[in-house]
Amino acid sequence: MSHAVSPLALPFPDLPPIAGATPRVARARYKEWDRCDLTFVTLDPGTSVAGVVTQSKCPSPEVEWCSKALVLGEARALVVNAGNSNAFTGNRGRAAVEAIAARTAAQLGCQPSDVFVASTGVIGVPLPIDKAEAGLDAAFAATPANWRAAAEAIGTTDTYPKGAVSTAIVDGRTVTLVGIIKGSGMIAPDMATMLGFIFTDAAVDAPFLQGALNGANARTFSCITVDGDTSTSDTVLAFATGKAGNTPLADDDSPGADAFRAALADLCHQLAQLVVRDGEGASKLIEITVEGADSDRSAHRIAMSIANSPLVKTAIAGEDANWGRIVMAVGKAGEPAERDKLAIRFGTTQVASGGLAVEGYDEAPVAAHLKGSEVEIGVDLGLGEGRATVWTCDLTHGYISINADYRS
């Protein structure tokens, strides 16, 4: 992780252990750095799994591997490599994933398809199998680690470790969910995010877990953007060990189904926010709400058009209430909009309405709002009931510095 911690960083919470999930970390030395960069989590037999992966048409071999394994719904291990994404590496990349899964399966006495693999880092460099296998052997022999150590080991350009916890009452028992996530740049998930891993002691059938994760993802990970760039490696996986002893959640009629869905959604919301707070070079967290759209889908597209606009993001970085840039981003989104019905606000201050500036509006409260570390932008299209909220960050010189020097 880099040293200049984001000014928007939140402290790492106290994450409890999850029965049936044991993290370990090791040094595979995928890059020349003095830190752990391989994370290995063993999962007890009977653990179910669900996941969402990148919509990129150039996915990594790890993403393809996880997509196939998810169909089976069972998991015994997770291996995460940091410093090398193994993406765009052809047969050599596929061979590396197969070698990792095979070695882990042999260690645990399970099927290779029970092993989930994720990698993050530079694109285009095959993952060195010798380093991966040596790192795995070190992880197999390591003493169990805590979730913070696991969160630190999966980071790349992250400036701080990211974790969250949530609980729910299911079938009369308290179940716990913890999550760790990494992500800072190349963030515009089209379904999932960077790399995120969720562990719960709840007993949950894989199909229900998948549905709950899909629902949570749509309102969280798929509503954040740092730079509009979707990674080749984005993966979020949720593992349920069943150790809480509740009657397995099978459908929405199961006792505690709603409570579990809510807890998972809360956890995903926390994790997604942590990623945006660590946006490369970020100094402000921006929440954009679009309402009055033709549909929720239309509202989401317009909100993302605003969130991904370099002109909007640089204006916020400069604390400039240039609402004309928001008009521009609404107009280019390709979604229904009528100029003379459009209304825009910063914080609680309405700055434009009915297609023009609010007459005599006082810019002082807007300027004060933009000086804060958290900025709200509201748009009302005046067309229908569609609504969406997304989160992004400002665009500063820091983003250029980090990405111009990324490989050096």
Reply yes or no on whether 193 is catalytic: yes
Structure tokens at 146: 């805590």
Q: How far apart are CA 224 and CA 379, in angstroms?
A: 17
Q: Which residues of 17-30 are buried (b: 16+ CB within 10 A; e: fewer)?
A: ebbbbbbbbbbbbb
Q: How far is CA 56 from the centre of its chain?
A: 15
Angle between helices 206-219 and 257-277 (to 10 degrees): 40
DSSP 8-state class, residue 127: P
3-state secondary structure of 223: helix
- Residue keyed to tokens 């179910």: 48
Contact between 39 and 19 under an 8 Å Cβ cutoff? The reply is no
**From 193, 200, 220, 392, the catalytic residue:** 193
Which amino acids are annotated as binding site for substrate, given as ranges? 156, 182, 193, 280, 403, 408
Cβ(370)–Cβ(351) below 8 Å: no
How many Cα atoms are found within 13 Å in the side-chain-facing hemisphere of 53?
Answer: 23
Query: Are the beta carbons of 98 and 112 closer than 8 angstroms?
Result: yes
Q: Nearest CA to 92 among 60, 118, 66, 69?
A: 60
Task: Report, as residue numbers or ranges, the catalytic residues.
Answer: 193
